[in-house]
Structure 1
Amino acid sequence: MQAVKLTISGKVQKVGYRNWFEAQALELGLNGYVRNLPTGQVEAVVVGEKDKIQMIIQRSWKEPSLANVENIESVEIATPQIIDDFKIVK
């Protein structure tokens, strides 16, 4: 198991990015959360198998179609408290 915090930059707010990201995380069996940041970026914490985390990062560069991802910063973190689902945080 691995835990990673992603900071996703570009046109990622007001384009359905959080909903898309949540659907991808659930499909891949990842836990964590996704939220908008006041900076215009999106932050996601994903917890799960390393290969599944790599898959969501790869997908995040291409989708959803209205988004335009310019950068994804990935930092491995200590697994926070037990997270047993994936959700959008306001």
Structure 2
Amino acid sequence: MESELRLDLVIEGRVQGVGYRYSAKMKAESLGIRGSVQNLRDGSVFVTAQGEKEAMDNFVRWCYKGPPGAIVRNIEKVQGKTEEFSEFRVLY
């Protein structure tokens, strides 16, 4: 859809071991966002998210807070080319 936006996010801080991936999945699904989330070896979390602009704005705001116990220090955002995602998945 042309009205959709895709972002790749690298979320840094205390974001592993606090349920960030599963919380991000639940938040994304509640907003109709598709894509994926995974832990990276450096301790950060990588998210690919695609959805309507308003939903994406809401999701990115949530990513800055994260679940209880998370401490987000920085988010690197890169806008990407939209793809055909069918769901939001946790990758390992």
> If the length of structure 1 is used for normalisation, what is the TM-score?
0.95
Task: Give the alignment's Cα RMSD to 1 decimal.
Answer: 0.8
Which of structure 1's runs of 4+ aligned residues deviate more than 4 A? none
Unpaired runs of 5+ residues, structure 2, are: none
Which among 7, 11, 32 is matched to residue 10 of structure 2? Answer: 7
Give the Cα separation in 2 of the matches to 1:27 and 1:38. Answer: 28
1:17 counterpart = 2:7: no
Which among 80, 83, 86 is matched to residue 84 of structure 1? Answer: 86
1:85 offset after TM fit, Å? 0.5
> If the length of structure 2 is used for normalisation, what is the TM-score?
0.93
Unpaired runs of 5+ residues, structure 1, are: none
* 3-state secondary structure, aligned to 1:84: coil
* Paired positions, count: 89
What is the CA deviation profile of residues 56-89 of structure 1, one whole-angstrom value per residue up to 9, with x for unaligned ones?
1111222311100000111100123x11100100
1:48 offset after TM fit, Å? 0.6
* 3-state secondary structure, aligned to 1:7: strand
